[in-house]
Chains A and B, each alone.
Chain A
Amino acid sequence: MLRSLRRRGLYLRLIGLIVLLAAMYIAFMTNKYYLLFITNLVFFAAIVLAWNIIGGYAGQLDLGTTGYMGVGAIVSSILSNNIGLHPLISIILGGLSSALLAGAIGFPMFRFGVREVWYALSTAAIVVILNNAVRLLIGPYEYYLRVRPIKTYDELYLATSIALVLVFLLNHAVNNSRLGYYLKAIREDELAAEAIGVDTRRYKLLALMIYAFIVGSLGYLYVVMIGYFYTYRFFDTGISVSIAILGIIGGLGSIEGCLVSAFLLRGVGEYLRTSLAHIIPGLHLLLYGAVLITLGVVEPEGIPGIARRFTTLLKTTKRPMGVVK
């Protein structure tokens, strides 16, 4: 019974997400500018949910998002654009190459017990290295996609929405699996997780590679979205940091929280960025900063923490009303 209830909960959430995506489309479909704007929101919501697997569940403060996204984007673009592979196959191969890179980096890193700040700094440094390496190897050029499998903004929105739904489902699958329990235990206390038999190195690596695979495959959509593949400019530590920020504010490991922060906070932030950039540049980042500090001081558990406070507040105010009745 418990099980079917959970399933029902999942269906409801899934339907909720689809309705939200459809409603956003209907609201903005007449305006190409806004349609691209919400496509971008949906895209980064998927990225934040992917980050949730390594950052939220496994608790590793990964700042390498744009590194994995960039590698996936470049590999899949070259494969489909220059070699002529089918886009879907290119996407998968792009994701796989990101996952492989993540494995190659993660294996020694977890082997040597790199964690916390040092993990965060290492992953940020890898993005910087990739940025400079690609700049040296390919140069400061931008390549336009010749093969464009997605032709209209509406198709792009649909594709991005499907990607988000897939990542959403994957998050739920992880959440309700052994892997999810192991990862959460690792996040809470790595040594205690080891002591109950969790092979922490192996599962951290698995989480890292899953995340890198998703982010790497999403890279291709990003290329389609912006129309060409930047080379080195993919590798942006600033964007990586803001992804992690959204995941943290979303509450580590909370799927709904991540969606709320990716849509609401990032939505407001992007709106400020695009509409006020010429008057006050960096306003969206100022907003992120203020939210981060406020939450860090008041409610370190982020959006789910706030939600929990609300529900307990509601519960405690409900009771006397029931008595009156």
Chain B
Amino acid sequence: MSTLLETRKLTKRFGGIIAVKEVDFKVEKGVIKGLIGPNGSGKTTLINCITGVHRPDEGRVFFESRDITGLPPHRAAKIGVARTWQIVRPFKKMTVLEAVMTSALIRVKDLSVARSEAVDVLKLLGFTEELMNRRGSDITLVQHKLVDLARAIVLKPKLLFIDEIAAGLRPVEVEGLIDLLRRVHRELDITIVVVEHLMTFIMKLSDEIAVMHEGQLIAEGSPEEVAKNPRVVEVYLGMRV
């Protein structure tokens, strides 16, 4: 296995807050990696620093051994780093299909090819033809999250960050989503980093898990190891009190 992504001493501050503090985060090629941590622990900010949404204050980001620190988001997307948004950012006045097509058009030049690729991905995610032609303003939040996922998948990224997609789903749907993400991972050969608060989801899906707390990485390992790690237990118990 080779290292796909690596951050070195990544730090991001917002005014007085240190949202991400000297984080060394590594993702091996071909895994599904869980990223967990209490609210405000810096998970989203870490993703933002890697995908170019924020410029890190210190530290560097390497993708396929190439230094991509401070690369603008569209360049990151083009070299294979895609992401979804914790708070959805829908294209409300475009249809679902058009939104996903836009993303496909980054890779392919031809409109009809882009359309058929977008349709394929949307079908994979369970969209009916009728749903595909609805406008972004006329679908549910859960559907938005899936469109967001489709926009990212159709880029055929090497690395995909999924920021809280399972929130608001019913247990059956969570099971379905786990299967779906496994298929995406396997069939499209995408390395996935998934952020989620839902423990059952993370434990089932991930090959390994990293835990953040107050901007720092405090534990890493297999789901079992992490679950037993006393610091993690402390952080999560501390949160519950």
Query: Is A196 a contact of B98 with CB atoms below 8 Å?
Result: no
A197 to B103, CA, bound (A): 7
A169 to B53, CA, bound (A): 37
Query: Is B77 a contact of A188 with CB atoms below 8 Å?
Result: no
Q: Which of A255-281 contact B (CB under 8 A)?
A: none
Kindly state the interface size class of chain B when it binds its partner: 20 to 34
A193 to B92, CA, bound (A): 13
Interface centre among A181, A185, A194 (most CB of B within 10 A): A181
Query: Is A192 a contact of B74 with CB atoms below 8 Å?
Result: no
Q: How far is the CB of B112 from chain A (nearest CB, A)?
A: 6
A129 to B88, CA, bound (A): 40
A252 to B77, CA, bound (A): 27
**Contact indicator per residue, chain B 84-120, by CB within 8 Å of chain A (1) or not (0):** 0100011111100011011101100101100100000
Q: Which of A150-207 contact B (CB under 8 A)?
A: 176-178, 181-182, 184-185, 187-189, 191-200
Who on chain A is nearest to B85 by CB? A192
B83 CB–A CB distance under 8 Å: yes
Q: Which of B91, B101, B103 contacts A189 (CB 8 A)?
A: B91
A192 to B155, CA, bound (A): 13
A321 CB–B CB distance under 8 Å: no
A196 to B149, CA, bound (A): 11
A2 CB–B CB distance under 8 Å: yes
B73 CB–A CB distance under 8 Å: yes
Q: How far is the CB of A138 from chain B (nearest CB, A)?
A: 42
**Contact indicator per residue, chain B 56-93, by CB within 8 Å of chain A (1) or not (0):** 00000000000000001110011000110100011111
A contact residues around B91 at 8 Å (CB): 184-185, 188-189, 192
A contact residues around B115 at 8 Å (CB): 2
A contact residues around B136 at 8 Å (CB): 188
Query: Is A196 a contact of B53 with CB atoms below 8 Å?
Result: no
A299 CB–B CB distance under 8 Å: no
Interface centre among A194, A195, A301 (most CB of B within 10 A): A195
Query: Is B51 a contact of A195 with CB atoms below 8 Å?
Result: yes
Query: Is B73 a contact of A191 with CB atoms below 8 Å?
Result: yes
Query: Is B94 a contact of A188 with CB atoms below 8 Å?
Result: yes
Q: Which of A187, A197, A301 contacts B106 (CB 8 A)?
A: A197
Query: Is A182 a contact of B102 with CB atoms below 8 Å?
Result: yes
B contact residues around A196 at 8 Å (CB): 74, 77, 82, 102-103, 106, 151-152, 155
Who on chain B is nearest to A181 by CB? B102
A188 to B91, CA, bound (A): 5
Q: How far is the CB of A117 from chain B (nearest CB, A)?
A: 21
A216 to B155, CA, bound (A): 37
A315 CB–B CB distance under 8 Å: no
B contact residues around A184 at 8 Å (CB): 91, 93-94, 98, 102
A325 CB–B CB distance under 8 Å: no
Given contacts A2-B112, A184-B94, A184-B98, contact A194 B72 (CB under 8 A): yes
A39 to B109, CA, bound (A): 39
The 10 closest A-B pairs by CB, nearest first: A197-B77, A192-B89, A197-B106, A188-B91, A194-B73, A181-B102, A196-B103, A189-B89, A185-B102, A178-B105
Given contacts A192-B90, A196-B102, 13 further A-B pairs with CB under 8 A are A178-B105, A184-B94, A188-B91, A189-B89, A192-B91, A193-B102, A194-B74, A195-B73, A195-B74, A196-B74, A196-B77, A196-B155, A197-B74
Pull 16 A–B residue pairs with CB atoms less than 8 Å apart, ordered by A.
A3-B112, A181-B98, A182-B102, A185-B99, A188-B91, A189-B91, A192-B85, A192-B151, A194-B53, A194-B72, A195-B51, A196-B77, A196-B106, A196-B152, A197-B77, A199-B74
